């Protein structure tokens, strides 16, 4: 098994899995029917992308693992998603801020992943970026709408940006698997995306009349399997059926 490629795939897919699960919690709870459906569709987009990554990871593993086993049967410490995506749906402002901060990174990442020497990864990226381009437009529009809206909406989205900003730097941290795949021309050198990311984020926040947070210290650990207290609750719901009825089939 190509361990570095396998771990690299998990590093990409776990972000979308956990964020998709978070968005799934909002089904039926959106502030309007249109927005509710939009968030649910984004969740489905992410899960669709996740299946492609996990199917490829199962092929790379070359053992009895399949996409369901990889997605739902690992212990918490084996998930390597960033801390940002596991943050709770505190209110609609937090939902949009979390989505926006991830979407901009995700779009930039997939743009570069299309050039991967790994044909399977490049194909997944080319298919996924069409969906993620919509995700970016959706979350960016809502950032502007809330920031430049009422006094209450401005306050809530600013609070959300302030609280979630501390998790953004981890998006650009590189694991050993990341470094190896970059060296092989398979992975994306995310360090080259960092300046562009914060520039774009700041431009949108300024347009939304929001203040760009000025932080010197950032939270990290998710990529090493060290998560916040929220992750256990997410996995308890995500994994329940598979663990309660192992090897079930429909």
Question: 1-5, 86-90, 118-122, 205-209: which has the minimum mean pLDDT?
Answer: 1-5
State pLDDT tens for residues 189-204.
999 999 999 999 999 9
Assign domain 3-244 one CATH number from 1.10.1130.10, 3.30.200.20, 1.20.1260.10, 3.40.50.150: 1.20.1260.10
Instruction: Give the pLDDT confidence score for residue 250 in this predicted structure.
Output: 61
**Paired tokens of 30:** 């959106």
* Tokens 């916040």 sit on residue: 228
Instruction: Give the pLDDT confidence score for residue 107 in this predicted structure.
Output: 98
Separation between Cα atoms, residue 164 and residue 94, nearest integer Å: 8
Say whether 130 sits in a helix, a strand or coil: helix
Average pLDDT over residues 45-53: 97
* Tokens 């953004």 sit on residue: 168
- Asked if residue 197 lies in contact with residue 108, where contact means CB atoms within 8 angstroms, the answer is yes
Which residues lie below 8 Å from residue 4, measured CB to CB, with a gap of 6+? 176, 177, 180, 181
**Paired tokens of 228:** 């916040």
pLDDT band at 62 (very low <50, low <70, confident <90, very high): confident
Residue boundaries of the structural domains of the chain: 3-244
pLDDT band at 32 (very low <50, low <70, confident <90, very high): confident
């Amino acid at each position: 098994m190509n361990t570095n490629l396998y771990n690299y795939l998990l590093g990409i897919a776990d972000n979308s899995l956990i964020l998709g699960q978070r968005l799934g919690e909002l089904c039926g709870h959106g502030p309007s029917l249109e927005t509710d459906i939009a968030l649910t569709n984004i969740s489905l987009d992410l899960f669709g992308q996740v299946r492609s990554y996990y199917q490829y990871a199962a092929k790379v593993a070359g053992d009895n693992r399949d996409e369901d086993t990889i997605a739902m049967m690992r212990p918490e410490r084996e998930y390597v998603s960033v801390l940002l995506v596991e943050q709770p749906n505190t209110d609609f402002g937090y939902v949009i801020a979390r989505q926006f901060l991830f979407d901009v990174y995700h779009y930039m990442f997939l743009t570069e992943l299309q050039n991967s020497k790994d044909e399977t990864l490049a194909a997944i990226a080319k298919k996924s970026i069409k969906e993620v381009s919509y995700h970016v437009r959706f979350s960016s529009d809502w950032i502007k709408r809330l920031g430049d809206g009422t006094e209450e909406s401005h306050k809530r989205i600013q609070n959300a940006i302030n609280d979630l900003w501390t998790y953004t730097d981890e998006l650009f941290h590189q694991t050993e698997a990341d470094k190896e795949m970059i060296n092989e021309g398979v992975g994306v050198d995310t360090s080259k995306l960092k300046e562009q990311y914060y520039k774009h984020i700041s431009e949108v926040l300024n347009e939304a009349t929001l203040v760009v947070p000025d932080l010197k210290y950032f939270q990290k650990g998710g990529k090493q399997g060290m998560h916040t207290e929220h992750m256990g609750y997410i996995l308890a719901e995500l994994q329940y059926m598979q663990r309660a009825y192992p090897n079930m089939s429909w």
